[in-house]
Chain A
């Protein structure tokens, strides 16, 4: 116990130490993000992450949003375990054909406002994998997408920026299924 306390005290709170410009920007982005979340949803934004065929590089960086440097939850953003609890889906990867139905069902299970954020170059345009017998390519080929965050993988700050765009005023979530009907 003593060793734990010692290590914790010695480490201090890394989240608030913001020496580099990157970290300053993190603060700025995060606070701006929180404003939008409140204005729009009046509460926190619950995000359900769906890997629809990623190489797992994008997942690593999404994970990093939870580390003490970015500490996403302090901005009212958090990842939830079920699409039924989610305001937004954060989808990575080209959509593999084997994940197509699972993605559609996840989309169908998500309540309005159902913001769909495509994270990573693959999710945005198919990336290195494109469209093939095994891949549908971009997420928008399968479900409607509101915001795209390119990058292979997008760094945590880029992800934050993208989340900001997702809930900025004017970004209307396309909850209308249109021709993207679920199964």
Chain B
């Protein structure tokens, strides 16, 4: 079955349910196809999609001036006239998008709701992984998702009023109140009742060197009965401060959405802008981007494997991994200019070229890492005390992972081998064979194994990238963006699929930027996989998922 073979079936089922779906200009959000829906059909379409097993890759809204779907679209819908980007926008509407994926084929559903009454049926009842995305969307744009099972706020704490929506045009970037923001003390956590049940609140300031967030455990004895996460503490207004930036400025911001995924997020944002402006980065830039993305994957997996081992007291592996990671980062600084390769990717290409001796150095590094990592991974793989702590711990079933839409190590360890690099390849991965590890145990040990395999596969890929590195330019100037141009970036970061939506305004600046980190779907997975485990195993379970706080809080 090829990437889009499921589409006719989906369309037929929509038609059978009397849902009016109109195919729209394919080129706009390529590689995704587009389908324009009536707002009242929004929920029912998700139900059909869930029924045939499409994965939901996220929902977002565009509430700023000139948003997405053209004003006349409703009329044209009836008349059957092409209504895409005719330049006429109704500022009184909020455009809402939902991205679906199956077998590597992407489809974006679009609709629009009036600003005065932005009500839309929720898709969460059919896609539980959307819960927080819809709440985030509501907190920032004011779209009301009717039928959403959880009416509590998510991203908004107390920094702005309940009836104000930062992504609306009338909301000033500086905000409306300069006063001190109180703690979000009255968030109604769900509690478990019963004799012997107690509650453990943790955070937002944690005991380690990690990002802030709140965890509320309901436990009995040592067993976790329920975990509820409360994030949003590092919400920095990224989507709002993106508005009006030029492409370079947006790339710099994207590089700081989530520091450990700086390469992947910058790549996704640049890819979206390049697609919006029909501009392709030169082949050498593609190769260098992939080289950096693989380096980022290796560095983070090394860190995670070490940290997981450390959380169960196996500091030998922690120190070995930390050592290898440090050497790796030093080389990144030497050859790519930055220990995390931040700002190394820019619109139209990459910021700097590799030096002449780099290939030899890198190949020697890859060999050295392989030589050091393989015996280390052997130890980790069958060390009795590790096995005792990691096997069966934090189990996430395939059904749970699929239900939530998990990608990356979490999905792969639970039997979902999706990887954008292989299943919807972008240059240069369209020229490379990407081997995607798949495990079925779904426990912490499986998530460690996925990371160990990915490191080895990345080493193979990087060797190939170096051997086939094209010559030529590393950057082309980005073409001026047509007014209202939109683009979708789809990149596989080390945490999984990153999807980034970009819309330009009429002056070549950014009107809307939405980077969707894979953590949106793995944070809820953590809540599920911790159930029935003991409280002291929470750190290792958390590390094995390693969701990003910053990437989700935005």
Give chain A's interface residues, CB within 8 Å of chain B: 3-4, 6-8, 11, 14, 49-64, 66-69, 79, 81-83, 93-94, 96-102, 105-106, 127-135, 152-153, 155, 183
Contacts and interface: CB of A to CB of B under 8 A. Distances in A.
B178 to A, nearest CB: 10
Contact of B181 (A68, A101, A129): A101
15 contacts: A7-B316, A50-B205, A51-B209, A56-B260, A61-B339, A68-B319, A69-B326, A79-B208, A82-B207, A83-B205, A97-B158, A129-B236, A133-B172, A134-B159, A134-B236
A57 B342 contact: yes
Interface of B: 157-160, 166, 171-176, 180-184, 204-205, 207-212, 232-238, 240-241, 252-253, 256-260, 262, 303, 316, 319-320, 322-323, 325-326, 329, 333, 339-340, 342, 372, 375-376, 378-379, 548-550, 553
Considering residues B160, B176, B181, which has the most beta carbons from chain A within 10 angstroms of its beta carbon?
Answer: B181
Given A129-B256, A133-B240, A152-B342, A69 B323 contact: yes
B333 to A, nearest CB: 7
B256 A64 contact: no
A79 B209 contact: yes
Contacts of B375: 3, 6-7
Given A81-B207, A132-B241, 12 more contacts: A3-B378, A3-B379, A53-B236, A63-B209, A64-B322, A64-B326, A79-B209, A96-B159, A100-B181, A105-B183, A131-B174, A134-B166
A100 B326 contact: no
A128 B183 contact: no
A81 B208 CA distance: 6
A8 B204 contact: no
A99 B234 contact: yes
B105 to A, nearest CB: 32
B241 A59 contact: no
A79 B379 CA distance: 29
A174 B356 CA distance: 50
B352 to A, nearest CB: 16
Considering residues B184, B257, B319, which has the most beta carbons from chain A within 10 angstroms of its beta carbon?
Answer: B319
Considering residues B204, B240, B259, which has the most beta carbons from chain A within 10 angstroms of its beta carbon?
Answer: B259
A57 B340 contact: yes
Given A69-B323, A98-B234, A100-B180, A56 B550 contact: yes
Given A54-B550, A97-B159, A101-B182, A135 B236 contact: yes
Chain A contact surface mostly: mixed
A133 B159 contact: yes
Nearest to A135: B236
B181 A98 contact: yes
Contact of B184 (A55, A98, A131): A98
B236 A96 contact: yes
Contacts of B176: 133
Given A53-B236, A102-B205, A133-B173, A7 B320 contact: yes
A96 B175 contact: no
Contacts of B326: 64, 67-69
B20 to A, nearest CB: 38
Given A102-B233, A128-B252, A134 B210 contact: no
Considering residues B234, B323, B342, which has the most beta carbons from chain A within 10 angstroms of its beta carbon?
Answer: B234
B445 to A, nearest CB: 18
B233 A132 contact: no
B232 A98 contact: yes
B322 A67 contact: yes
B237 A134 contact: yes
B271 to A, nearest CB: 20
B306 to A, nearest CB: 9
B211 A56 contact: yes
Contacts of B340: 57, 60, 153
Nearest to A61: B339
A102 B319 contact: no
A49 B376 CA distance: 30
A134 B257 contact: no
Contacts of A129: 236-238, 241, 256
Nearest to B176: A133
A100 B395 CA distance: 36
A132 B237 contact: yes
B260 A60 contact: yes
Contacts of A59: 209-211, 259
Contacts of A51: 209-212, 234
Given A51-B212, A68-B322, A128 B253 contact: yes
B57 to A, nearest CB: 23
A13 B236 CA distance: 41
A97 B322 CA distance: 33
Contacts of A93: 234
Contact of A133 (B204, B205, B237, B258): B237
Given A55-B256, A132-B173, A152-B342, A98 B235 contact: yes
A8 B339 CA distance: 26
A57 B184 CA distance: 26
